[in-house]
């Protein structure tokens, strides 16, 4: 993969370097998947309507997996990024896919292992384009600190802190292509809303969201429907968020469920205040009649106990079950 050299000198020199490398990127693209900045590739007969690539199947531990991240392809074209945990950018390169049409980002919550890699995706998208880019970003609203909880910014503030004036990566707004963000803060945990709400409805693409619950971190659950295919993402979720997940995942083709803990008492007690054990995962998947279940955000404990986890889930759920790996490519 071609990389931009470090920026040096004044803005004019930065733009000169950027322009030069854009030419090289365009030439490389012509030899591969098409010219940078061109219209998104058209659907071919071989393209499935909805595809999922796992860019990160792990959690916060540095144990060989990238942290949570998923790329959604519509008609063979990468369009939607769900979470952006550390290491997922490297997995993107290994997947050999184009970012030319990526325009939507869904963040389940703003913990480091779900959101820290976003600047890398933004820059990669920017240097592959010769025209203005607008990212449509969705994520939870903020939560002020109080005695027993941490402070979390709203997603709009998170994006501003990264890319806004005076932000950590403010230079990216016009480094090689004008970049802007349209950010929607979704209701925080504890909201009165108990039914999924439509956040995107464009032709055959429907994306809905509902408030989740992950300890003191505001959290959102998402579902994507496209041309008769569907996938839902639990994000990190505890017992308080299960009714919302059940409501939004009913009848979904594929439910991506974060699996961190073993059935009690197999994991530290505090983790059950943040995550869902296998037996409960199976019960929810069974009630919601999901077509298939993909366990991701895997902890070392779950990795070492595949048989026990599978058996526990199978007590309630008879559908297809798979453990995620980085680079896994599925068609829900």
CB proximity list for 329: less than 8 A, separation 6 or greater: 51, 52, 53, 54, 95
Instruction: Specify if 314 maps to a domain.
Output: yes
Short-list 248, 239, 228, 233, CA closest to 288: 248
Instruction: Specify if 218 maps to a domain.
Output: yes
Beta-carbon count within 10 A of 325 CB: 12
Instruction: Specify if 222 maps to a domain.
Output: yes
**Left, alpha or beta for 213 (phi > 0: left; psi -120 to 50: alpha)?**
beta
What is the model's pLDDT at position 6? 36
What is the model's pLDDT at position 2? 30
Instruction: Specify if 263 maps to a domain.
Output: yes
d(C-alpha 330, C-alpha 73), whole Å: 10
d(C-alpha 196, C-alpha 227), whole Å: 19
Instruction: Specify if 6 maps to a domain.
Output: no
Instruction: Specify if 330 maps to a domain.
Output: no
What is the model's pLDDT at position 87? 95
H/E stretch holding 200 reads strand 197-202
Q: Is 277 helix (H, G, I), strand (E, B) or coil?
A: coil
CB proximity list for 246: less than 8 A, separation 6 or greater: 284, 287, 288
pLDDT along the chain (332 residues), means of 10: 34 42 38 35 67 95 91 97 96 92 95 95 86 94 68 93 94 88 82 78 96 90 98 94 94 97 90 90 96 96 95 96 97 94
What is the model's pLDDT at position 12? 42
Q: Is 214 helix (H, G, I), strand (E, B) or coil?
A: strand
Instruction: Specify if 179 maps to a domain.
Output: yes
What is the model's pLDDT at position 129? 75
Instruction: Specify if 136 maps to a domain.
Output: yes
What is the model's pLDDT at position 25? 38
Q: Which structural domain, as residue segments, surrounds residue 260?
A: 11-38+47-325
On the CB side of 278, how many CA atoms lie within 13 Å of its CA?
Answer: 27
What is the model's pLDDT at position 15? 44
d(C-alpha 117, C-alpha 94), whole Å: 16
What is the model's pLDDT at position 316? 95
Give the CATH number of the domain where residue 197 resides: 3.60.15.10
Q: Per the structure, how many domains does the chain have?
A: 1
């Amino acid at each position: 993969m071609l990389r931009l050299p470090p920026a040096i000198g004044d803005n004019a020199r930065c733009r000169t370097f950027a322009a030069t490398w854009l030419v090289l990127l365009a030439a490389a693209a012509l030899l591969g998947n098409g010219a940078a900045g061109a219209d998104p590739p058209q659907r071919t007969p071989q393209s499935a309507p909805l595809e999922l690539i796992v860019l990160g199947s792990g959690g916060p531990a540095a144990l060989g997996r990238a942290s949570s991240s998923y790329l959604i392809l519509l008609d063979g074209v990468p369009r939607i990024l769900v979470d952006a945990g550390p290491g997922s950018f490297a997995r993107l390169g290994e997947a050999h896919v184009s970012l030319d049409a990526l325009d939507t980002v869904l963040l389940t919550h703003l913990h480091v292992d779900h959101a820290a890699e976003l600047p890398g995706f933004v820059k990669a998208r920017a240097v592959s384009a010769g025209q203005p880019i607008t990212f449509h970003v969705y994520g939870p609203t903020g939560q002020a600190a109080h005695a027993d909880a941490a402070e979390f910014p709203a997603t709009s503030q998170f994006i501003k802190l990264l890319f806004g004036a005076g932000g950590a990566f403010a230079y990216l707004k016009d480094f090689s292509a004008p970049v802007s963000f349209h950010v929607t803060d979704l209701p925080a945990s504890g909201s009165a809303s108990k039914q999924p709400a439509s956040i995107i409805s464009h032709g055959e693409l429907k994306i809905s969201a509902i408030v989740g619950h992950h300890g003191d971190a505001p959290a959102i659950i998402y579902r994507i429907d496209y041309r008769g295919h569907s996938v839902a993402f639990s994000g990190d979720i505890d017992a308080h968020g299960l009714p919302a997940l059940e409501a939004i995942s009913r009848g979904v083709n594929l439910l991506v469920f974060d699996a961190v803990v073993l059935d009690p008492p197999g994991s530290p007690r505090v983790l059950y205040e943040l995550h869902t054990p296998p037996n409960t995962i199976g019960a929810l998947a069974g009630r919601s009649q999901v077509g298939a279940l993909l366990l991701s955000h895997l902890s070392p404990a779950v990795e070492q106990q595949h048989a026990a986890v599978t058996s526990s889930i199978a007590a309630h759920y008879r559908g297809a079950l798979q453990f995620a790996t980085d680079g896994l490519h599925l068609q829900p």
